């Protein structure tokens, strides 16, 4: 998701390292490699708001590079695999690498986005380089799980240039085609289980629903997600047919997002003291402001909800820890089928 830069300091990076400490991990356990954007980035974008308060206040208790108040999709998947969250690539020289590595970088995408960071292709370059350097062996890679979550920032970038969605159909096809090239490349490096996230309902971002006073998602934009996902599903099916094995599997973020939002909307209607799921917990005071930003006098340019642990969205595009937890619980059955019970 699109994120905006700040200068971090040494103490913040040291704090991030602590959140990747390894306890009682088995050297022979499965490794998790992660590619994509801020929905799965756990600390690679060092000069961003993810290293500023109030990010990280729920977990680990301080800003440590996650774009939310706490755990995100990567953390829940790692926990499901019974391993610690893999180390961010940016911290690879001073952290334990036995759980895999996270190459995801907030704000990036498949094509060039508003953030000048490593896109999916460059992230895979870094992975390939580590394999060539024997940081990870052939058996490490073959027994690993890969998670790829990207695309949201590409559509945000498109929307900022063309709010009328002229040419969106052609854009979706070119984006998915390039995405498929990247997936084939990951497979060529020896990975045998690749989990591909379907695109979340982008019409439900608080950045979008604010125009509707957070009452509902914008279906015209959600249709972009549905069209993207339909094409992804077809490409994944074709790739698996060509290989003769189910190497590529999809994670349905779209429906798990919508289902969770609808459940929480119903609860909100029954009890108005509960938070509206489409409303961000950490909200900008006015246009041009943002969660984590302060003015020249050190005054916050955002407001914070009373109970972050109950919110679905943390800021204008990222789920809160509660949101990710609720989403992951809906995804767990399919994840069990994807990875089997041998981990």
Give residue-wise pLDDT tens across range 110-164.
999 999 999 999 999 999 999 999 999 999 999 999 999 999 999 999 999 998 9
Closest CA to 124 of 48, 45, 179: 179
Q: Which residues have a catalytic role annotated?
A: 38, 315, 318
Query: Which domains occur in the chain, in start order?
Result: 10-337 (3.40.50.1110)
Tokens 């604010």 sit at which residue?
Answer: 210
Query: What's the rounded Cα separation, in Å, for the pair 40 and 316?
Result: 16
Residue 256 clears pLDDT 60, i.e. is over it: yes
Residue 3 clears pLDDT 70, i.e. is over it: no
Residue 25 clears pLDDT 70, i.e. is over it: no
Query: What's the rounded Cα separation, in Å, for the pair 238 and 16?
Result: 40
Instruction: Specify the length of the chain in residues.
Output: 343
Residue 213 clears pLDDT 60, i.e. is over it: yes
Confidence of residue 29 (pLDDT cuts 50, 70, 90): confident
Closest CA to 119 of 174, 182, 162: 182
Query: What's the rounded Cα separation, in Å, for the pair 164 and 94?
Result: 47
Q: Any idea what DSSP says for residue 83?
A: S
pTM of the full structure: 0.92
pLDDT (0 to 100) of residue 73 = 98
Mean pLDDT, rounded, for 252-257: 98
Q: Which residues contact 82 (CB under 8 A, 6 or more apart)?
A: 29, 343
Query: What's the rounded Cα separation, in Å, for the pair 268 and 81?
Result: 33
Confidence of residue 292 (pLDDT cuts 50, 70, 90): very high
pLDDT (0 to 100) of residue 287 = 83
């Amino acid at each position: 998701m699109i994120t905006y830069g700040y200068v971090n300091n040494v103490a913040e990076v040291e704090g991030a390292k602590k959140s990747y400490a390894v306890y009682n991990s088995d050297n022979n356990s499965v490794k998790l490699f992660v590619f994509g954007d801020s929905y799965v980035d756990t600390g690679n974008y060092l000069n961003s708001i993810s290293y500023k308060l109030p990010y990280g206040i729920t977990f680990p208790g301080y800003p440590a590079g996650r774009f939310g108040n706490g755990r995100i999709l990567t953390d829940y998947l790692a926990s499901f695999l019974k391993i610690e969250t893999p180390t961010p690539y940016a911290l690879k020289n001073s952290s334990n690498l036995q759980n895999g590595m996270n190459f995801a970088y907030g704000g990036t995408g498949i094509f060039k986005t508003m953030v000048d960071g490593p896109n999916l292709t460059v992230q895979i370059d870094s992975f390939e380089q580590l394999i060539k350097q024997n940081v990870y062996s052939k058996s490490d890679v073959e027994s690993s799980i890969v998670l790829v979550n990207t695309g949201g920032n590409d559509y945000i970038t498109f929307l900022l240039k063309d709010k009328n969605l002229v040419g969106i159909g052609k854009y979706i096809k070119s984006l998915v085609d390039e995405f498929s090239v990247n997936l084939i490349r990951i497979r060529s490096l020896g990975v045998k289980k690749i989990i591909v996230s379907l695109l979340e309902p982008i019409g439900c971002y608080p950045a979008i629903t604010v125009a509707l006073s957070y009452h509902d998602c914008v279906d015209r934009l959600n249709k972009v997600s549905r069209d993207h996902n339909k094409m992804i599903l077809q490409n994944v099916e074709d790739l698996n047919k060509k290989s003769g094995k189910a190497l590529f599997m999809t994670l349905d973020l779209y429906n798990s997002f919508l289902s969770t939002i609808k459940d929480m909307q119903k609860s909100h209607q029954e009890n108005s003291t509960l938070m509206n799921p489409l409303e961000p917990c950490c909200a900008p005071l006015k246009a041009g402001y943002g969660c984590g930003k302060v003015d020249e006098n050190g005054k916050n340019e955002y407001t914070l909800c009373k109970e972050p642990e109950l919110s679905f969205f943390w800021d204008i595009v990222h789920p809160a820890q509660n949101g990710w937890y609720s989403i992951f619980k809906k995804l767990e059955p399919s994840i069990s089928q994807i990875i089997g019970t041998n981990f």
